[in-house]
Structures are given as structure tokens and as C-alpha cells.
Structure 1
Amino acid sequence: MTQMTDSLIVVPMLRDRFPDLLDNYGYLFRAGDRVMCIDAARAAPLHAAAQARGWMITDILLTHHHPDHVDGVADLVALTGAKVWGHSADAHRLPYLDHGISAGQTIDIGGATARVWDVSGHTIGHIAYIFDGIAFTGDSLMAAGCGRLFEGTAEQMHESLSQFADLPDDTLIASGHEYTQTNLAFALSLEPDHPALISRKTEVDALRSEGQPSVPSTLGTERRTNPFLRVHDSALKDATGTTGQSDALTFAAVRRAKDAF
């Protein structure tokens, strides 16, 4: 478990019966007298991390309905009485939903405001929570990658990720999985001589060798090294055989290549 700031904690998800880690992360984010948990694959690690700091989880913010993001919700609600937030359009797939919210809405929790973005692609109804300086992106924009397209299309995901263009470089991208090494390996298969990719791989390998998470990353880092944010780049278009084609078509080509990697 790694403390990133006084208010943001990254919590690895332990398996119930095995000593190894899932590749999921949950986050604890404190604002005023409220403690938010973003996604909940397991209740126990999140509850323990909060208790260790004298915190009580008051709110659970769900990005999407997949079991590895919601399986711990029932137990966490039972332990804490926390209220559950999520996309109202996905209410039939989100457990214990108290606050149904919509894309375009702004929410206030403990004095911290977040814009709610629809980032469909990985699933339909996937949302991201955009606080000042921190974006909780679930399985949409990820460290050096993006989520696999289970329900949406490449065009939808490209449109979803295009929303991040207006955020500053120092925005933390708090995504939901430890996929960074695999994502960088894929990116390097397209551009093996890219200096920023080589440098980031070295940094991430060092973190992981010490058991440290590679997330959150920064949006500036993603802009330099995430192929799904670089589909406008001529080198990446050349690497995917989409020179002269639209960025959306390049995005689709990168996603197909990643799926086959």
C-alpha cells in the first residue's frame, strides 16, 4: 500500500484466499470530513487502509459495473454504511446504488467537486470522476493504455479519451489496474526506439521490482507515452499503417494491435 499524498491512498486488492495480488487497485480520497473509495474489488483491504489512518469510508464512487470493480461493495457498505455513487443509466448493474448521477453533472463531496464524464468504450455507462488535479478513470484512460472494448467501439473510446485534451499535464490519472508494464511492452513493439517510452519502462520496472504501484501516472506522462493519446502522431500512424488516415482510424488500428499482442 502506497501513500501518494495526505489525501490520496492507493490500495492493492488482495485475493481472499491467496497471498498474491490481483492487478486491481482501489483508491481512498479524503476531502473534508468525507472519505471516498473509488471502486471496490475487495472490502477488507480498503477498510483496513482507512482504519490505519483513522478514517471511515463515507462514499463509494463506482466507475463501471464489472465484478472486479464492484464485488466488495456489499461488504464495504455493511462495514461502513457508506453511500454508493454511480451512473444512473447503469443502475441495474451497480450494487447498492444510493446516488445515481449522470454525465455532465458536477458533484460535491466534502467540499471537493468533481465533473462526471461519460467515458464509454470499455463498457457502456462507464464514467470518470474529474476532481481538481485528480482524474479517477477506472478502465478508460489507463497507464500507458486504455481498457479493452467489451461493449463499446473504438470510435467511442477515442471520443471518450479526447475529453482529456483540456486537462493540465500535472493531472493525476488514477486508473484501476496494474497493467503498465504490459502496456509499455506493447507501445514499444510499435515504436521500439521511442526515448520517452524506453525511459518510462525503466522507471516502471524499478517501481514494480520494489513492489510499488505504477499508478497514478500524470496526464503529461500519458501524452508522451500512451499510444492511445498519440494517434495524431505521424510516427504512430506510420507504425500502424494508417498514414494519411483519421486519428479515429489510427486509434482503432492501435486497439486491434493491442488486442492481438
Structure 2
Amino acid sequence: MLPVKSIPAFNDNYIWLIENSQQGCAVVDPGDAQPVLDYLAKHNLELEAILITHHHNDHIGGVAELVRQNPNVDVLGPLNEPIPTVTQTLQGGDQFELFGERFLVLDLEGHTSGHIGFVGDGKLFCGDVLFSGGCGRVFEGTMEQMWQSLDKLAKLPIETEVYCAHEYTLSNLAFALAVEPENPHLLAYRDEVIRLRGLERPTLPTTIELEKRINPFLRLEEVAVLKSVTNRTPANDPLSVFTALREWKNEF
């Protein structure tokens, strides 16, 4: 299993750093170069690859400087997004090897039109699609695309570690509790998240198993979730329920 470290950036971003055993590493979604450069220097690591999930600046803003200082670095990113620094474009179904582990590329449209994710070594790097207790906003894609992307992630092995790109957990749980106020798993997790944040520790990674217990966007057929949106949609199919939840979260 490849070690993964979190590098905080901006107010609530995480740049994920994946290490190998020979002082090499890769980073995922480096929106800011300086925290990465500082970490590389402190731990004497060589940057070998940059993985990008989508084109928003808080995920790619540091790439150009990292490439300037590491001219041999490989930059892997989505085929269908305008990211000029990418050296290898990827789309769903593609595979690549990283430090001896095979990673599969997933198409995860919805947040943006060409968003992708990476799954391998028991880990999922999902950018701004799935968060602990929540999901990303639908900016460029459609509600149906976002629902399908989340459904795709929900079908991954439950032990998969989920490396989201933002520390949104506590605010997401406030909404999740509005949807399912009596969910015992959610109540226990809220207390643990409060403890972790009080210690200034990250709440990530999460797991698919945990998210299926506490995340309303992965619980669209649960009775309590259906009941919570009865005044927002006359339909109870998963897409209608997801749309009602996402619109509710937008105004929450």
C-alpha cells in the first residue's frame, strides 16, 4: 500500500501526496505550488507525477510552477478539460501505473463537464465529486451526470479509502443531520469529526463503507431520506431524490 500524506492549502483544500519507497512522489490536484515545494524540500522527495481531476484553479493553480521547477514531471489529467500543462490525457477506462500500482480512471462528470477520478491500491482520489457527508456542486454538468458519478463511486469496494479534495466534513454533516436527524451512525460520526477538528486533524480519508452509512447523497432509497424530501419532489426515483437533495443543499 502506498503511503498518502495530506498537504493543506488555502482555507480547506487538501493536496494529496503519494509516496513510493525510493524518495519519489506524486501529488493530486496541487492548487498551490508553495506548500508542495516546502514539503518536498523538508522530506527530500522528488516529484515524479502530478494527477489532476478537473480544471478549477484551486486544483491546478500550482501546476505550472511545479512543472517549471521539476521539468521532467509527468502531468496526467482529463481529456475533456482545458488544462495546458497536461502531458498525458486520460478518460474513463484508461489505466496507468504509479509506483508499481495499477490505477483505473473513472469519468465523474457533473461538477465539471470532464471531471475524472483515480482508483487503485485501495484508494480513490475523487476531486470535488464525493465529499465526506456530501457531494460537489453541479456547475458545468447535469444533475443526472452527478448522480450517475456518485452511483459509480458507491459501487466501489466498501473498504476503498476516499481522498476528497476539501475539508468540508463538519458543514456537510450539519446538512446530513437535517436530512436524517436520527441516523445513529451519523450522530456518532458527527461527534468524532468535532473531536478531530478540535485537534486540528483532518477528517479524511473516509471510506465508501462509512459514506454509505452517513452520506445522504449515497442513501437515496433510504426511508428517512425519502421522507425528508417529500415536500420538495413528488417523485421518489433516485435521480429526483438526488436533485431535490442537491437543490436543498445549495440553499442550506
| TM-score of Structure 1 vs Structure 2, range by shorter chain | over 0.9
1:9 corresponds, among 5, 11, 16, to: 5
Distance, in Å, in 2 between the alignment partners of 1:148 and 1:167 is 21
Q: CA RMSD in A?
A: 1.6
SS in 2 for 1:178: coil
Per-residue Cα deviation, 1:54-78 (whole angstroms, up to 9, x for no partner): 2111111000000110101111112
SS in 2 for 1:57: strand
Distance, in Å, in 2 between the alignment partners of 1:220 and 1:203 is 16
The reply on whether 1:89 has 2:80 as its aligned counterpart is yes
| TM-score, scaled to structure 1 | 0.90
Question: What is the deviation of 1:7?
Answer: 1.4
Per-residue Cα deviation, 1:135-178 (whole angstroms, up to 9, x for no partner): 00000111111110111111111101111233222211000001
How do 1:1-261 and structure 2 match up within 5 A?
7-14=3-10, 22-31=11-20, 33=22, 34-81=24-71, 82-90=73-81, 93-241=82-230, 245-261=236-252
Distance, in Å, in 2 between the alignment partners of 1:8 and 1:151 is 30
Aligned partners of 1:74 and 1:95 also within 8 Å: no
Give the structure 2 partner of residue 18 of structure 1: none
Distance, in Å, in 2 between the alignment partners of 1:37 and 1:231 is 33
Aligned partners of 2:117 and 2:126 also within 8 Å: yes
Distance, in Å, in 1 between the alignment partners of 2:26 and 2:208 is 22
Aligned partners of 2:154 and 2:208 also within 8 Å: no
What code does the residue aligned with 2:101 have? A
Task: Number of aligned residue pairs: give it.
Answer: 248
Distance, in Å, in 1 between the alignment partners of 2:171 and 2:60 is 24
> What is the aligned-residue identity percentage?
37
SS in 2 for 1:104: coil
Structure 1 pair 200–42 and aligned structure 2 pair: CA distance change class (3 A): same
Distance, in Å, in 1 between the alignment partners of 2:207 and 2:40 is 24
Question: What is the deviation of 1:52?
Answer: 2.5
What code does the residue aligned with 1:7 have? P
Distance, in Å, in 2 between the alignment partners of 1:110 and 1:194 is 40
Give the structure 2 partner of residue 17 of structure 1: none
What code does the residue aligned with 1:202 have? D
Question: What is the deviation of 1:32?
Answer: 5.4
Question: What is the deviation of 1:50?
Answer: 2.7
SS in 2 for 1:259: helix
What code does the residue aligned with 1:249 have? S
Distance, in Å, in 1 between the alignment partners of 2:96 and 2:20 is 13
Query: Which structure 1 residue ranges, 5 or more long, are not aligned?
Result: 15-21
Aligned partners of 1:144 and 1:184 also within 8 Å: yes
Q: Post-superposition, which runs of at least 4 consecutive aligned residues in structure 1 deviate over 3 A?
A: 31-34
What code does the residue aligned with 1:248 have? L
Question: What is the deviation of 1:243?
Answer: 7.4
